[in-house]
Amino acid sequence: MVLNASAHDSGDLRARSAIALIALCDWAVSASATPLPDPIRARAALVLLDDLGAMVAASQEPEVTATRERATGKSKAHEATVFGPQALKIERLQAATANGMAAAWCELDEGYRLAPCHAGAYVLPTLLAEAEAHDLTCEQMLHCLAVGYEVTARFARAFPFPAMTVHPHAAFATVGATVAGALVQGLDAPTFLRALTGACSMSFAGPYRHAVDGALVRNAWTAASPSIAALSIEWAQDGIGGIAETPYDVFSTCFHTACDPDQLSAGLGEVWAINDGYHKVFACCQYAHAMLEASLSLHEQLGASARTNIASIEIETHPRGLTLTGTRPDNVLAAQFSMPHAAAAVAVLATGGQAAFSAASLARDDIAALRDKVTLKPYQPLAPWPNDRPSRVTWVMADGTRHTAEKINARGGADQPFDEATLLGKLGDNTASLFPAMAPVLTALLHRQQGVDLLSWRNCVGRMTASSVSVKV
């Protein structure tokens, strides 16, 4: 008996995706011999400082602390730094696991705008640990970051989910982690391909809904991926891995994504995905950012007294914003993925920062009451990218008056980037209490000052964490 594997099977797409993947792997391996263009090097440095700051910001959360302590207890070596209190050096895989748990915890990490994907958060936990253990220079580490980001983002573009079913952290984190480890270890192209395809076959079927429901395992997918990457690389060196068709079989056949093979290989080395990243100043899912900006503009228009007179909130938003439906978030993660909570919290607190998504915000009766009075409906007409994530917010006041503000596209993307001072200020806010030297050292690395770019990453980490603050937890 012959079974039909899937209605999604397409021999042509499968074959083309395999050819394109081989070209992508060949490029990734050879790219290490080509210097990064200066603008790409600068973008990689910005992604590094933004995501490292996000890890530090999350490092004292109770669950992240528990993961770090468990990883430290398992460690038998002192190879790589955990970016938390005391900046302990532990075995590299355990360090990547602990840093991976912190990577997206606060929803302050950088993301990719052309497809649901946080390539930096997938690449960096493994890359930071491997680069320190292998004593790469800072420039080599930035090079691996840019190339790893490229490969990971191309996977997200080539295999797009038609609906938000599998979370991108689950689908693509094993890709980013494996590419990072393979680049640091200098695998040849055939071994690189075996490792990457093997890791693809071990992608996670992590539901997108887990973020909305506050299932904290969602934050663990970036922590588990370094282990998958380490095994995939070891086994690839033993001759064990997937085949060039594996990504198609996993994503298109099993996960029912679309497939655009050209996204894997077109314009390699000419068009860089890292240029299309976005940065956040709001501590929540980016799908809510336009709504937050519109709400803050209402605060500016109406003044501080208005917040106590809001009777209900109406939000018109884009399709992905309409997935953030939770009205009773049980924890910070669920709050970060709740449009009603975000709208109520910003209305009451006049901020979209961490305070709006903290445990304290969840405990406030005024925010909870207003959450139940938030309604969501589609924004129409929806414009093409980059204006495909708009929001229109209406505050209905106690006396029946209505005040509306609209934001077509939130700041932070390539079309409306935050200036460097804003991102460096965010870095300082996230790191100063624990690592006072981190922001100055990373700023010097960004600007190629004081010879920091010529240092080994190991020495750079030593400088950043030399004055680390010991915190009792």
- Dist CA 454 CA 139 (whole Å): 7
pLDDT (tens digit per residue) in 12-58: 999 999 999 999 999 999 998 899 999 999 999 999 999 999 999 99
User: What b-and-e string marks burial along 157-191, b requiring 16 or more CB atoms within 10 Å of the CB?
Assistant: bbbbbeebebbbbbbbbbbbbbbbbbbbeebeeeb
**Which tokens is 315 given?**
């939000």
Chain segment 270-320, per-residue pLDDT in tens: 999 999 999 999 999 999 999 999 999 999 999 999 999 999 999 999 999
CATH superfamily label, 286-407: 2-methylcitrate dehydratase PrpD (3.30.1330.120)
Q: In which band, very low, low, confident or very high, does the pLDDT at 7 lie, cut at 50, 70 and 90?
A: very low
pTM for the complete prediction?
A: 0.95
Distance between CA atoms of residues 133 and 184, nearest Å: 10
- Mean pLDDT, rounded, for 238-264: 98
CA gap 198, 238 in Å, rounded: 12
Q: What is the pLDDT of residues 382-410, one digit of tens each?
A: 999 899 999 999 999 999 999 999 999 99
Torsion 278-281-284-289 (CA) sign: negative
Q: Which residues of 312-346 are buried (b: 16+ CB within 10 A; e: fewer)?
A: ebbbbbbebbbbbebeebeebbbbbbbbbbbbbbb
At residue 469 the predicted structure's pLDDT band, cuts being 50, 70 and 90, is low
pLDDT band per the 50, 70, 90 thresholds, residue 450: confident
In angstroms, the first-to-last Cα distance of the chain is 61
Instruction: State mean pLDDT over 174-193.
Output: 98
CA distance 119 to 178: 12
Q: What is the pLDDT of residues 140-179, one digit of tens each?
A: 999 999 999 999 999 999 999 999 999 999 999 999 999 9
Mean pLDDT of 198-225: 98
Please report the pLDDT score of residue 472 as a whole number.
40
C-alpha 227/C-alpha 52 separation (Å) is 20
User: Which DSSP letter does residue 418 get?
Assistant: P
Q: Is the pLDDT of residue 4 over 50?
A: no
CATH code: domain 11-278 is 1.10.4100.10
Segments making up each domain of the chain, as ranges: 11-278, 286-407
3-state secondary structure of 133: helix
Domains 11-278 and 286-407 share a fold: no
Read off the pLDDT band of 468 (50, 70, 90). Answer: low
Which one-letter DSSP state was computed for residue 31?
A: G
